[in-house]
Chains A and B, each alone.
Chain A
Amino acid sequence: MEMTLSPTQQAVLDACTTALGRAAGPARARELRSAGGADDRLLTLLGEAGYLDVALDEESGPLTAVLITELAARHLALAPVGARSLVAPAVIAAEQLPEFVTIMDLAFGGPVRYAAQSEALIVLDGHDARLFTAAEYTTTAVETLFGYPLARVELQGGGVDLGAGSGDVARRWWRVAIAAEIAGTARAALDLTIDHMQGRVQFGKPLSALQALQHRVIETHVLIEGAMWMAREAAYHGAPAESSSSAAVAAVEAAGRTLFEVHQLSGSIGFTDEYDLTLSSLRLQTLRTEAGGMAAHSRALVAGRWGA
């Protein structure tokens, strides 16, 4: 695996960073949280610029798509960038790709991210998957403070069969997408925490100067980096069963530790609505439970590694 980005990849990421810096971020996340919606505007912007189709591009490929997913999460984008740029291209023909698409797995109950806002739903049913248009399902929004719009879904139509084994393929890419989203979201939470620690003076020095706290930040950083690189490697290799589930396991572990550390190290301010930490940290709660959470990722890892 190339551990450095190609000039093309770097150029794509730089441009995408600029776009996300303008169109996403904490203020936009708050605006959307109040309105209860998702960021159609951002998704359209990313789509028109071609960022959501980089997985299909021979030179950029899924590795660039995972980098964009990570980047979008880090900028608190409220749009299914991972589902659209990593999962959908793996199971839906390029010319039929919907712009706003999300995923649900019939094996797990519970609400679905972006279901009420999507124009299509990839439904995983065992080894296979079907694509449902918005007319073929109804949604009931669920009240949540996690920063993502969640809704329960009731399927009504039959959907379009995405082919034998498409469920397995989609599920593997979904794990990669979740890992990338966790890596980006956790990174945003940790960055803000480090800023806080550098500015917050107690006992005559910034919290960031206390070695015991430095170690905890560093350990969290390592876990996030680990999840990030696992997601990248899985994407690079085309989301094989073992590495995609390894990435998800590592990411869910990282999410749990990050959640604890960023809130503890931020102190009481992190518990308030006015502070931006919750915009990223609470999203980790959804991400770590999505797609069956740790139990399902672990089973998939065991099956992928040892065929159990």
Chain B
Amino acid sequence: MFDDDADLQAFRLRYREFLHEFAPHGWRAHATTTDATLDIQRSWLRTLAAHGWAAPHWPAEYGGMDATLAEQIVMQQENSRAGAPAVTMFGMALVHAAATLLEFGSEEQRRRHLPHILQGDEIWCQGFSEPGAGSDLAALSTRAVRDGDRYIVNGQKIWSSGADRADRCLLLCRTDPDVPKHQGITFLLLDLRSPGIEIRPIVSLLGSGEFCEVFMTDVVVPVTDRVGEENEGWHICQTTLSTERGPYLLPVVNKLRDECAAMWTMAEAIGTDHAAQVAAGFHAEVAILSELIDRTLLQAAFGKSGNESSILKVYYSELSQRLTTAALEMAGLDAQLAWTEAFDLNSDTFDGSWGLSHYWSWSWTIAGGSNEIQRNIIGERVLGLPREPRPEARRS
């Protein structure tokens, strides 16, 4: 990926040494339930934090390392090499919440939340989508009405991954219904233990409860928990969303590489030229993805990924779907039936279940801004193509 210069090589060796000494072994055997996986990840996050490695991308003054992109990539490579647990359940806190607070939060908010995030004391989720506002996120209707030094929030959020285990939620609300829809949205930090909140897991087609609905009835949110100014939420949430199309994708390349290796093992057993060509084709595509990520990350500072990050999202998610589909075709129906007990959606390694990898890959092209929306962004903002006429934009 990068040729290490002397400094980077020293950094790599230092982190490798740390992993050698502290990374847990045999943890996968214990990660049989979501609760057990959460304990393993929290414990590892605390170990990372104790040695200063938990949030390399954060500024040093908040407990980060001011690490360069090259250093972050090196850490991902070394994590993968050592088989260290990925702290995926804290991803929304460490990446999305942190990026939002670091760019738009008040100093008081940063001091209040970032230390808890670093210690694994807070799990965060995202409260953006609503039943009537999916791809058209700006159409959201959850209302926040100002009442002195607080907001009263009423509404419903949906597809909030992990909300049933979360402590806090990045929440988008409508504060002004009388202006064009993008201009009347405010970004709040919601304490999920507040009275008036009900969280219901949604049973997925896999039978799991990864996604949740969050119902809010007269929930009180102090004005001090507002990020940025009132009605500036749309601009702020773009940062939150762009993080998941940027550095957050680094671990997925590891997983795809793992999947390619597993596919090659199958292709070798099948022993036909066609199977080998399929496996090789995917290997090349993963290499392209890796190049695209490097290029995009190097072009944009962390937390300010540009519109080209949409290309990464489209490329990765569709590659993952095609790769797992091809693998299932090679492996047959049996492979779809052999599932692991506890599957980590965001794992950076292939856990051997083509079926689960495949079905979760379906969600990647929908979640975090569907690929249709990503294509709109690429067309309009990268290629400069005209926008589709949008009737509601005329609302004033």
Residues of A at under 8 Å CB distance from B? 108-111, 142-146, 150, 201-205, 210, 212-213, 256, 260, 263-264, 267-268, 270-274, 278, 282, 285-286, 289-290, 293-295
B254 sits at the interface (CB 8 A):
no
Q: Is the CB of A273 within 8 A of B204?
A: yes
B370 sits at the interface (CB 8 A):
yes
Q: Is the CB of B204 within 8 A of A142?
A: no
Residues in B whose Cβ lies below 8 Å from that of A278: 205
Residues in A whose Cβ lies below 8 Å from that of B329: 289, 293-295
Query: Considering the chains assembled together, what is the distance between the CA atoms of A210 and B390 in angstroms?
Result: 11
Assess A272 versus B337: contact at CB under 8 Å? Given A267-B366, A293-B329, A294-B329. no
Q: Is the CB of B207 within 8 A of A268?
A: no
Residue in contact with A267 in the complex, picked from B132, B321, B370, B390, CB distance below 8 Å: B370
15 A-B interface contacts by CB (under 8 A): A110-B333, A111-B337, A150-B337, A202-B135, A256-B325, A267-B134, A267-B135, A267-B370, A270-B205, A272-B204, A272-B205, A278-B205, A282-B205, A293-B329, A295-B329
B1 sits at the interface (CB 8 A):
no
Distance (Å) between the CB of A26 and the closest chain B CB?
Answer: 14
Query: Considering the chains assembled together, what is the distance between the CA atoms of A146 and B336 in angstroms?
Result: 10
Residues in A whose Cβ lies below 8 Å from that of B371: 264
Assess A212 versus B159: contact at CB under 8 Å? Given A110-B334, A204-B390, A268-B134. no
B383 sits at the interface (CB 8 A):
no
| Best-surrounded residue of B333, B372, B391 (most CB of chain A within 10 A) | B333
Q: Is the CB of B134 within 8 A of A143?
A: no
Residues in A whose Cβ lies below 8 Å from that of B48: none
**Per-residue CB proximity of B35-73 to A under 8 Å, as 1/0?**
000000000000000000000000000000000000000
- The 3 tightest CB contacts between A and B, nearest first, are A204-B392, A202-B136, A204-B391
Distance (Å) between the CB of B353 and the closest chain A CB?
Answer: 13
Q: Is the CB of B332 within 8 A of A110?
A: yes
Residues of B at under 8 Å CB distance from A? 129, 132-136, 139, 158-159, 202-207, 211, 321, 325, 328-329, 332-334, 336-337, 362-363, 365-367, 370-372, 375, 388, 390-392
Q: Which residue of B lies closest to A275 (CB)?
A: B205
Q: Is the CB of A203 within 8 A of B136?
A: yes
Q: Is the CB of A271 within 8 A of B205?
A: yes
Q: Is the CB of A272 within 8 A of B203?
A: yes
Distance (Å) between the CB of B318 and the closest chain A CB?
Answer: 9
Q: Which residue of B lies closest to A286 (CB)?
A: B333
Q: Which residue of A lies closest to B133 (CB)?
A: A202
Besides the contacts A203-B391, A210-B388, what 6 more A-B pairs have beta carbons closer than 8 Å?
Answer: A144-B336, A144-B337, A203-B139, A268-B367, A271-B211, A272-B202
Q: Which residue of B lies closest to A146 (CB)?
A: B336
Query: Considering the chains assembled together, what is the distance between the CA atoms of A267 and B159 in angstroms?
Result: 11
Query: Considering the chains assembled together, what is the distance between the CA atoms of A264 and B371 in angstroms?
Result: 9
Residues in A whose Cβ lies below 8 Å from that of B135: 202-203, 267
Assess A202 versus B139: contact at CB under 8 Å? Given A110-B332, A268-B158, A293-B329. yes
Distance (Å) between the CB of A68 and the closest chain B CB?
Answer: 25
Query: Considering the chains assembled together, what is the distance between the CA atoms of A150 and B333 in angstroms?
Result: 10
Q: Is the CB of B139 within 8 A of A268?
A: no
Q: Is the CB of A293 within 8 A of B203?
A: no
Q: Which residue of B lies closest to A298 (CB)?
A: B274
Q: Which residue of A lies closest to B367 (CB)?
A: A268
Query: Considering the chains assembled together, what is the distance between the CA atoms of A278 and B204 in angstroms?
Result: 10
